[in-house]
Amino acid sequence: MKIAVVALGKIGLPLAVQFASKGHDVVGVDVATAVVEQVNAGTEPFPGEAHLQERLAEAVAAGRLRATTDYGEAVPGADAVVVVVPLFVDDATWQPDFGWMDAATRALAEHLTPGTLVSYETTLPVGTTRTRWRPMIEEVSGLKEGRDFHLVFSPERVLTGRVFADLRRYPKLVGALGPEGAERARAFYEAVLDFDERPDLPRSNGVWDLGSAEAAEMAKLAETTYRDVNIGLANQFARFAAAHGIDVHKVIEASNSQPYSHIHRPGIAVGGHCIPVYPRLYLWTDPEATIVRTAREANMAMPSYAVGLLEGALGSLDGARVLVLGAAYRGGVKETAFSGVFPVVEALRAAGAQVLVHDPLYSADELAALGLTAYSTGVDGPVDGVVVQADHPEYATLGADDVPGVRVLVDGRGITRPERWQGVRRVVLGEPGPAGAEPS
């Protein structure tokens, strides 16, 4: 097959490489000239994705993958066009911003030829495929969906850093606008993906047709919104438990020993491209989902709560030097999308603190570009307090000797070891803290 992949980001490029690895002719489209040049040189634009570099280099060298900025070079004659363009959500209004996706859809529609399967993998509000993309593509292309081309929604369900493994592990969900489109989508994804055996699933791993685009759209929103709601509940449990001298981690471990309980871990922040964003997309079409809204608000309040824990244990933060450990939104991943580092730093600065940030994955210049002041452990002098924001494995072995002068540690991820912080007031989110460690 000839396949076009629109947007060569942290999901789109691994998808393009995967499709090429199955022997297909893949052309990737991206608006960033630098990304296109790097891909054509066989060089990954964003290091950190397992096995991407070697697989990309192999696909380019074999002539099965190339990149372009020109839709006219990629889309005409394609058997399938897979769209992975980002969809943004306004922080203030929680409304989706379709700007980039609209532009990409119109551009591909201008060059669409009969017989093509168009599959959107970007997470969307329920109804978007049918009510926004279909009429837009039909209007621009002059073609008729269901007759000249087929439109489906098939959500990406992978995590950056382990995309290739996740593509094999999870069923590929598809939802079409008609039975022929569903069959085309099933045949396409079976030809470009491999699936691990999953005896734990109710049916065989592979391509799962959900019967409609709306069902597939909702499935992606449901699985991610569930996690946000679950974490929100865990965070509320953590705040209550700590205030009443209870270790919430022991409570959760005990609760989850019963097979009907699956409480997640509490934490200082919920970050990444998915969990903080997709509940807002769900709320856009279901504004009465009060549970979803409350959980999102509860999770958004956790960075300020953690700063309150620090202030309660340390005293006034005005003029204090505070080190935040972790710029990334989660451990081991070089990504700051919706990272808790930003609200934590904002809350600390609002309290008058001088804020420094350390992250083993980022250079001082990279942190500066994010508006953060870098700190090198053992080099940049004493600090008064430390806040653990990301659970990088390096922080499990970090201790008071690495951070001169530290008096209070607030561990927002439960990763530090108490024996390494002797003489420091250590407050772990969800555990009963020492006297004076309640949020101020």
SS (H, E, C) the chain: CEEEEECCCCCHHHHHHHHHHCCCEEEEECCCHHHHHHHHCCCCCCCCCCCHHHHHHHHHHCCCEEEECCHHHHCCCCCEEEECCCCEECCCCCCEECHHHHHHHHHHHHCCCCCEEEEECCCCCCCHHHHHHHHHHHHHHCCCECCCEEEEECCCCCCCCCHHHHHHHCCEEEEECCHHHHHHHHHHHHHHCCCCCCCCCCCCCCEEECCCHHHHHHHHHHHHHHHHHHHHHHHHHHHHHHHCCCCHHHHHHHHCCCCCCCCCCCCCCCCCCCCCCHHHHHHHHCCCCHHHHHHHHHHHCHHHHHHHHHHHHHCCCCCCEEEEECCCCCCCCCCCCCCCHHHHHHHHHHCCCEEEEECCCCCHHHHHHCCCCECCCCCCCCCCEEEECCCCHHHHCCCHHHCCCCCEEEECCCCCCHHHHCCCEEEECCCCCCCCCCCC
**One of 10, 172, 274, 334 is an active-site residue; which one?**
274
**One of 2, 10, 22, 220 is an active-site residue; which one?**
220
Q: Is 220 considered catalytic here?
A: yes
Q: Give the integer Cα–Cα distance in Å for 440 and 149.
A: 60
Amino acid identity of residue 184, one-letter, is: R
Q: Give the integer Cα–Cα distance in Å for 361 and 334.
A: 6
> In the numeric block, which tokens belong to residue 360?
């083993």
Q: Is 22 considered catalytic here?
A: no
Q: Give the integer Cα–Cα distance in Å for 163 and 15.
A: 8
Cα three-residue angle 147-129-276, rounded to 5 degrees = 160
- Give every CB contact of residue 205 below 8 A, 6+ residues apart in sequence: 169, 170, 171, 195, 196, 197, 198
Catalytic residues, by residue number, are 220, 274
